[in-house]
Amino acid sequence: MALLALPASAQAQRWYTVELIVFAQPGGSGAEQWQAEPALAYPGAARFLLQPARLDAALATHEGEAELDEFGRLLITAPGLAPPEAAPAFDTAGAAADAAPQTAPDESVELPTAFLTLPATQREFRGKAAYMQRNGGYRILFHEIWAQPVVAESAALPIVLDHSGDEQRWPQLQGSVRLHLSRYLHLETNLWLNTMGEYLAGTWRMPAPPLGPPAVIVETPEPPLSDPAATQARGPEYLTIDANGAVSAGAAHGQDATLPAAGAVASEGLQPVAVTAQPLYPFRHAVLLQQKRRMRSNEVHYIDHPMLGVIVKLTPLDDEALWELAQAEAARDDLPPALFAAGNGVAPLTGR
């Protein structure tokens, strides 16, 4: 019965579980006229979901001291280097007046880690997604469920769904979604589907879209200064992260230089990963799904498009549901212990 005495501050933050499916529609390309070169860009400030399998893979690939920042990025410092300074929090001072209160939850309310993906068994649409692929010819491109506070539009960060910036290749689905709250819940999609362009005549190909911002940032030792060739090609001497999460490089002799962009992107905040040898874009064209949708909680919403589809449901979480999620998180065995507190399952820098 102790749960009944918990304060309502967690409810004031308006936490929800979010289940999101993005899928490719079968045979939807022939009847439409598509823009030849759609404006494809990642947001200037954004964040990532915390996906345990991806975090484990990155930790297995890169040695060093690791931590998560509040944008969901994994920062790894190679052995022998000082750990990087933590990225400053994103500025939410301009939250709209009609937003739900953004006061910090009372310490007596145990919260789950925001934006941490939940086990697949928690997905309500698990059976539906399998049926769509098996009997409808649909291709599921993204399917995750997580918990998060939904904040005012001015404070809400888009969530980048792909990891092209880390993998240095173009997946079929790229882009981001953004959830925010005023009087209603709102979903904004900025997603594009890379296609083989079978609906295009001739051999024309569009220019490659940008690769996304990196979710894994590795700081490695510098080559010796005594080697002129290494000094010339060594790149940045240090990394800094501004208030919007942008990664900048400091060159030798104290000169600052922003990491070069791999393609179109907003001018501030998270930048696309620098590409030293541009990989080959394996597709011919991309189609854009850019919509805004007003939603209600506890309802399934569907965004239609000739080639893409989105299914989303937001379920509100009260104090008891939040406590249960936090307890379930503490019992999980798939969370990297280097990033999540032992016996608690809580990442120290992820929206606490």
Give, for all 352 residues of the chain, the pLDDT tens digit. 333 334 444 446 899 999 999 999 987 766 678 999 999 999 999 999 999 999 999 999 999 999 999 999 999 998 877 665 654 444 433 333 333 344 444 556 689 999 999 999 999 999 999 999 998 889 999 999 999 999 999 999 999 999 999 999 999 999 999 999 999 999 999 999 999 999 998 999 999 999 999 999 998 877 666 655 554 544 443 344 444 544 444 433 333 333 334 344 444 456 555 555 667 999 999 999 999 999 999 999 999 899 999 999 999 999 999 999 999 999 999 999 989 864 444 444 343 3
Length of the chain: 352
Instruction: Using the CB atoms, write b or e for 177-197: b if 16+ within 10 Å.
Output: bbbbbeeebbbbbbbbbbbeb
d(CA 225, CA 17): 51
Tokens of 289: 């799904």
CA 238 vs. chain centroid, Å, equals: 24
Q: Quick one: pLDDT at residue 137?
A: 84
Asked if residues 247 and 217 have their Cβ atoms less than 8 Å apart, the reply is: yes
The model's pTM: 0.76
| Selection from 149, 153, 178, 109 nearest residue 15 by Cα | 149
| Selection from 245, 281, 279 nearest residue 265 by Cα | 245
Q: Quick one: pLDDT at residue 38?
A: 96
Long-range contacts of 334-338 (CB under 8 A, 24+ apart): 334/52, 334/53, 334/56, 334/119, 335/52, 335/116, 336/52, 336/55, 336/56, 336/59, 338/59, 338/66
